[in-house]
Structure 1
Amino acid sequence: MTPAPLLAAGIATDIAAEGKSAAVTDWAARVGWLVGLLMFIALVYWLMREGWKWRATLQGDLPELPDAPEEPGPATLTMTGRYHGSTTAGQWLDRIVARGLGTRSRAELTLTDEGLDVVRPGADDFFVPAARLRGARLDKGIAGKVLTEGGLLVVTWEHGDRLIDSGFRSDRAAEHTEWVEALNSMIEKNTTEGAER
């Protein structure tokens, strides 16, 4: 007899001698672990949601966002892409969630002589008056979103007593440099005109 049939015969003999079959899966224990895991995931989600609401409460002093003027003038530049969030200027992890600024969404940006109009389908639109713009730069990350170097257009603006960085990514990333130049040129022009008055 070959070794394999001998081995199989030996195992069959051992099982018959013990008089019982192989252990059956303990479904109660598995279901218990699964329920425990689902409860843990629900707890983590609830804690994250409470943290988000707590942050919004702490930022409750942020004034209402300005609406776009009825006659904003001709568009200097337009862009479609994504809005990735806003943070306290210079602190790329200090996310601002009050007034809907924490909601990521699609975005359509229009730059006019009056300022920057941000239209967000599914979220609150906002407008940054030209006099409130403080700077623009290319960066790689903002509040939980990290891209390649220069993959994010970051616009710094003043709202109430806060300086805010808002991050945008165009559908055509090559546009970012043009936007930085146009925004910084507008800011420099407004600053010069303000100093002359």
Structure 2
Amino acid sequence: MITLAEQQAKVTNWPGYIGWAVGLLILIALVYWLMRQGWNWRRTLQSDLPPLPAVPEDPGPAIRQAAGRYHGSTTAGNWLDRVVAHGLGTRSLAELTLTERGLLVRRPGDADLWIPAEQLTGARTDSGIAGKVVPAGLLVVTWSLQGTALDSGFRADHPDEHAAWIEAVEALVTRTKTKKTEEAAS
């Protein structure tokens, strides 16, 4: 006859459980390390990307303002090709301010992003950008960094504002192009 103590001994295999737990922790650490190596490799590949424009002390009076989240930047037209150089791949909270001089993205805890009006090329809504898919849509601003076309994704706290943002950015792009054409003609 089997005693109660013998039955409990068969059920409790602590060395086996501890071994599996340690193995699982090692596997998780390895996957994290490989992901980090991939991020660093991508940063190295994108090291030829020119530096970001400096944030001006006075960006000018605000045309539009919104609070929300910055979801990252990709090469224009390729929503899966995340750009990580210069901190463009880091998601963060954001405060967007559109002025006549450009778009200012204040990111607490990360470097602010300044996109001069001359570098803006358009805006649209899209359903996703590099690891973030939102059925209600993201505000995607397209801009050029010294010849490299980029898309930057934002999600306003009030997504119903995206249409007004698109209209405002498109109007600024048109005014900037008109101004450049007039200056070239003079």
Deviations 1:71-128 (A, max 9, x none): 3221101111000000000000000000000110010111111000111000111100
Deviations 1:4-55 (A, max 9, x none): xxxxxxxxxx537xxx832242211111111000000000000000100110
5 Å-filtered alignment, 1:92-171, equals 92-149=79-136, 151-171=137-157
Structure 2 Cα separation of the partners of residues 106 and 24 of structure 1? 49
Structure 2 Cα separation of the partners of residues 158 and 24 of structure 1? 64
Of the three residues 156, 159, 162, the one matched with 1:176 is: 162
Structure 2 Cα separation of the partners of residues 135 and 24 of structure 1? 65
Structure 1 Cα separation of the partners of residues 84 and 11 of structure 2? 52
Task: Provide TM-score, normalisation by structure 2.
Answer: 0.92
Secondary structure at the aligned position of 2:58 is classed as coil
Counterpart of 1:120, as a letter, is: R
1:46 matches 2:21: no
For structure 1, which runs of at least 5 residues remain unmatched after alignment?
Answer: 1-13
Structure 2 Cα separation of the partners of residues 91 and 182 of structure 1? 24
Of the three residues 35, 48, 69, the one matched with 1:61 is: 48
For structure 2, which runs of at least 5 residues remain unmatched after alignment?
Answer: none
1:21 matches 2:12: no
Structure 2 Cα separation of the partners of residues 161 and 49 of structure 1? 29
Percent identical = 58
C-alpha RMSD over aligned residues: 1.4
Structure with the higher fraction of residues in strand conformation: 2
Secondary structure at the aligned position of 1:76 is classed as strand
For this pair of structures, how many residues does the alignment match?
180
